[in-house]
Amino acid sequence: MRPTIKDVAKAANVSIATVSLVLHNNERISSETKRRVLKRIKQLHYHPSRSARGLVLSKIGNIGFIITEEHFLRTESFYTRVFLGTEFEAREKDNYVLLATISSSFKKGDPLPRFILERNADGILIVGKVPEAFIESIKKYNMPILFIDYLPPNGDFPGVLIDNERGGMLATEYLINSGHQNIAFIGGEISHPSIMERLHGYKLALEKANIINGNGLVVTNDENLSRQNGYRSAEKLFIQNKNVTAIFASTNATAVGVIQYLKDNNLNIPNDISLIGFDDVEADIMIDPPLTTIRVPKVKMGTEAVQLLLNIIKTETTTAKKIIVPIELVVRESIKNIN
């Protein structure tokens, strides 16, 4: 049988209350006693029972991580890394992360993640775009909620977000500074607000540099599969447009599709076409030459999110604080300077 607080108390010759106080670092306990108790705790490999603790505190130490199944299974490990970040921070703070997927076509009345119904989570992380109907459905449980990489159009929630607009600008400006003018934007899942914001950043940068080019250079397309999306979009772009010299691919999965298209059509990167991506590419994907990109701190998004959420839970405040994680331009070899 696993040891309980009683066993520790007996071994250390104190009451169970003392053990509990030691566990919580209460200053009422002398350092001598503390030492003795701690020694026994270690010796017996004692760990307090979560159930017992949860029962009295009515706080379980779990946080829910909700994502659409589609996003979770994406070949890009974007959200997987975010998840890992949440796991790291949760562990640090003595919490567990419970992952649940929902359908991206969730509609009212569909079953909710069990940890919501059973209130087996102290708070909830909603990751990536989720259906509005889902958000509506869980509102009434009023658990603390925090969004990651998405904010619903209405309602004011806290969130951990990427500075997509600045990223879009950064990417575009870098292309402009490298002498490009005919810069195309290829958008993946354009209905995701993040992509919209990147597009907005792109437009802003062009405007600022007084470059006016028709909308023909912006190709969007809402297929689910980002790579095919990138491929098809590139195809579409080049049919209409022969003089593009640079492409801003709004995600790296899109970029991979674009690369395939360029390869299939004997267009060399960066000599014929310069290309910049968004999100650092997984090392596993072979891209030749290495892709210049905007790096997003995925793991950090997870850790920040958990920190903020736990804070909201602890202080029982309602906040709509937004944390914007910094992005970074990573220059590699996919862009040609044509100045």
Partner DNA sequence: AATTTTTAGTTAAACGTTTAACTGAACATA
Partner DNA sequence: TATGTTCAGTTAAACGTTTAACTAAAAATT
Written as one letter, the residue type at 282 is E
Q: Is 334 in the site for a copy of itself (CB under 8 A)?
A: no
First to last CA, the chain: 74
Among 28, 45, 140, 242, binds DNA (CB under 7 A): 28
The item of a copy of itself, DNA, none sharing an interface with residue 286, based on CB under 5 to 8 Å by kind, is a copy of itself
Identified binder of a copy of itself from the candidate list 27, 31, 32, 47, rule CB under 8 A: 47
Task: Please name the amino acid found at residue 207.
Answer: E
Tell me the closest approach of the beta carbon of residue 251 to a copy of itself, in angstroms: 12
Please give the helix or strand (H or E) that residue 188 lies within, else none: strand 183-189
Q: Which does 260 bind (CB under 5 to 8 A by kind): a copy of itself, DNA, none?
A: a copy of itself
Query: What is the three-class DSSP state of 88?
Result: helix
Residue 108 binds a copy of itself, judged by CB under 8 A: no
Token duo for residue 54: 């949860």
Distance of CA 318 to the CA centre of its chain: 22
Map the footprint of DNA across residues 141-170, applying CB under 7 A: none
The count of other CB atoms within 10 Å of the CB of residue 335 is: 24
| Partner interacting with residue 239 (select from a copy of itself, DNA, none; CB below 5-8 Å by kind) | none
* Nearest to DNA of 59, 321 (CB atom): 59
d(C-alpha 83, C-alpha 72), whole Å: 10
Point out which span in 11-19, 123-131, 237-245, 266-274 binds DNA (CB under 7 A): 11-19
Between 36 and 71, name the residue whose CB sits nearer to a copy of itself: 71
Phi-psi region of 25 (alpha: psi -120 to 50; beta: other; left: phi over 0): left
Total site size for DNA, rule CB under 7 A: 29
Going residue by residue from 52 to 81, which x/- string records binding to DNA, judged by CB under 7 A?
Answer: xx-xxxx-----------------------
Instruction: Give the shortest CB-289-to-a copy of itself separation in angstroms.
Output: 13
Interaction of residue 29 with DNA, rule CB under 7 A: yes
Binds DNA (CB under 7 A): choice among 10, 38, 48, 223:
48
Cα separation, 155 vs 51, in Å, equals 34
Tokens found for residue 243:
């003089």
Match 């509990």 to its residue by tokens. Answer: 20
- The interface partner of residue 94, options being a copy of itself, DNA, none and the CB cut-off 5 to 8 Å by kind, is a copy of itself
Nearer to a copy of itself, 76 or 197 (CB): 76
Q: Which residue, 194, 187, 295, 205, is CA-closest to 248?
A: 187
Give 301: exposed, middle or buried? Use CB within 10 Å, 0-12, 13-18, 19+.
buried
Q: What is the DSSP string of 289-330?
A: SPPEEEE--HHHHHHHHHHHHHHHHHHT-----EEEE--EEE
Strand 328-330 and strand 292-295: the pairing is antiparallel
Query: What is the Cα–Cα distance from 232 to 257, expressed in whole angstroms?
Result: 8
Partner that binds at residue 181, options a copy of itself, DNA, none, CB closer than 5 to 8 Å by kind = none
- Which parts of this chain interact with DNA (CB under 7 A)? 1, 4-6, 14-18, 20-21, 23-24, 28-30, 32-33, 46-49, 51-53, 55-58
- Which parts of this chain interact with a copy of itself (CB under 8 A)? 2, 45, 47-55, 58, 60, 62, 69, 72-77, 80-81, 83-84, 87, 91, 94, 96-101, 114-115, 117-120, 225-228, 231, 253, 257, 260, 263, 282-286
